[in-house]
């Protein structure tokens, strides 16, 4: 079967097209014919050797994929051949609190991922996908959409009428915008691109803030909310934006720490105390969270935003496009 691997994580040129034997499912595993995969910022860190969790040698990359079950192993009860499924980022986090076995089961990092024709997934490491979604659309969900759901719903306990700040227009932020609007919350978006801010407003954001033109964008958020601040921030920047996020939330507001895309000053714990802020680190989510997300997506007919779809042989070009930061939403690779 066709696949890509990373012999040594030294940059985009390390991504290597190879052929591998078709795998076989073992006890409580399923074999999936992969139709599509999608990229996340984490995948750039993996191929460049900058991923903080480290990667396995000769890793097959990408956590996100969707396709058709073609074979089930002994003991499988949830799936049958012909089912349309998506991978779970963590193969061994069915629900509840994450334990020590979760991180070593991360696709495309600790273990081989989805950038191949066939992939074996754990029975508890896959979910059925909403009927109205294509494989390309479903492939965008496992990391970015589940992360946004975990932030807004599991951590944030979002309810209608609240307000959310999303940073930028990458995968997590656009899903957060869609989910927040779907649930009746108001959204303020930041970006350095006026064109992207215009698109965010078309999708339901009430306001857009150019963070380069407004370095004190937290003060702009306070003005837009009448001095109150937003209820939640989906924080994807890291140390470089965290202080602004603290300034943008209401007293007692919540910040979901998603990633670390920027460097900056150390985080001041006294500022957290002053705002009585609830700060939670978010690392994707469990299978149960993914299933709850899919139920909400199905009921509301939500459609993921895909910026561009690349062919399997153009995988490096897909990585390069993601690295350019020109995308709005998700970048997808069609496998079959």
The predicted-structure confidence for 110-143, as pLDDT tens digits, reads as follows 999 999 999 999 999 999 999 999 999 999 999 9
CATH code, domain with 193: 3.40.50.720
127 with 167, same domain?
no
Residue 267: predicted pLDDT: 77
236 with 325, same domain?
no
Residue 194: predicted pLDDT: 96
The predicted-structure confidence for 33-91, as pLDDT tens digits, reads as follows 999 999 999 999 999 999 988 788 999 999 999 999 999 999 999 999 999 999 999 99
d(CA 280, CA 167): 16
44 with 20, same domain?
yes
257 with 157, same domain?
yes
User: Chain centroid to CA 23: how far?
Assistant: 27
The predicted-structure confidence for 272-308, as pLDDT tens digits, reads as follows 999 999 999 999 999 999 999 999 999 999 999 999 9
Within a domain: 151: yes
17 with 99, same domain?
yes
319 with 260, same domain?
no
Q: Which of 266, 281, 296 is where one domain is finished?
A: 281
277 with 311, same domain?
no
Within a domain: 217: yes
Residue 264: predicted pLDDT: 58
153 with 244, same domain?
yes
150 with 267, same domain?
yes
pTM value is: 0.96
Domain that holds residue 231: 146-281
Within a domain: 93: yes
211 with 269, same domain?
yes
What separation in angstroms does the CA of 83 have from each of 24, 68, 163, 180, 190? Answer: 17, 6, 37, 29, 39
Per-residue pLDDT at 172 exceeds 90: yes
136 with 150, same domain?
no
18 with 116, same domain?
yes
CB burial of 76-98 (b: ≥16 within 10 Å; e: otherwise) equals: bebbeeebbbbbbbbbbbbeeee
Total domain count for the chain? 2
The predicted-structure confidence for 257-278, as pLDDT tens digits, reads as follows 997 655 556 778 898 999 999 9
Within a domain: 297: no
CATH code, domain with 136: 3.90.180.10
What's the mean per-residue pLDDT of the chain?
95
Residue 6: both structure tokens together: 């990373």
Residue 110: predicted pLDDT: 94
What separation in angstroms does the CA of 60 have from each of 84, 105, 113, 266? Answer: 22, 14, 5, 35
Average pLDDT over residues 206-223: 97
């Amino acid at each position: 079967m066709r696949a890509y691997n990373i012999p040594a994580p030294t940059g985009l040129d390390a991504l290597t097209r190879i052929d591998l034997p078709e795998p076989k499912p073992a006890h409580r595993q399923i074999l999936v014919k992969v139709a599509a995969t999608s990229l996340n910022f984490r995948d750039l860190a993996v191929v460049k050797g900058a991923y903080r969790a480290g990667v396995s040698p000769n890793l097959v990359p990408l956590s996100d994929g969707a396709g058709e079950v073609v074979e089930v192993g002994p003991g499988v009860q949830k799936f049958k051949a012909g089912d349309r499924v998506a991978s779970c980022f963590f193969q061994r986090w069915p629900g509840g609190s994450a334990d020590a076995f979760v991180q070593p089961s991360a696709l495309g990092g600790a273990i081989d991922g989805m950038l191949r024709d066939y992939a074996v997934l754990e029975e508890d490491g896959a979910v059925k996908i909403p009927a109205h979604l294509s494989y390309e659309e479903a492939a965008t969900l496992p990391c970015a959409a589940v992360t946004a759901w975990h932030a807004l719903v599991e951590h944030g306990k979002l309810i209608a009428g609240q307000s959310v700040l999303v940073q930028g227009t990458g995968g997590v932020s656009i899903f957060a915008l869609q989910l927040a609007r779907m649930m009746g919350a108001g959204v303020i978006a930041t970006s350095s691109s006026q064109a992207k801010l215009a698109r965010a407003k078309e999708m339901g954001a009430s306001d857009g803030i150019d963070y380069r033109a407004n370095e004190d964008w937290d003060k702009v958020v306070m003005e837009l909310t009448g001095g109150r601040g937003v209820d939640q921030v989906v924080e994807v920047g890291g140390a470089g934006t965290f202080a602004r996020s603290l300034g943008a939330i209401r007293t007692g507001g919540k910040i979901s720490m998603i990633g670390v895309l920027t460097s900056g000053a150390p985080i001041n714990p006294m500022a957290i105390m002053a705002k009585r802020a609830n700060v939670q680190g978010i690392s994707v989510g469990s299978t149960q969270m993914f299933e709850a997300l899919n139920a909400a997506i199905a009921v509301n007919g939500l459609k993921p935003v895909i910026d561009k779809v690349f062919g399997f042989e153009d995988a490096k070009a897909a990585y390069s496009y993601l690295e350019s930061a020109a995308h709005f939403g998700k970048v997808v690779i069609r496998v079959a």
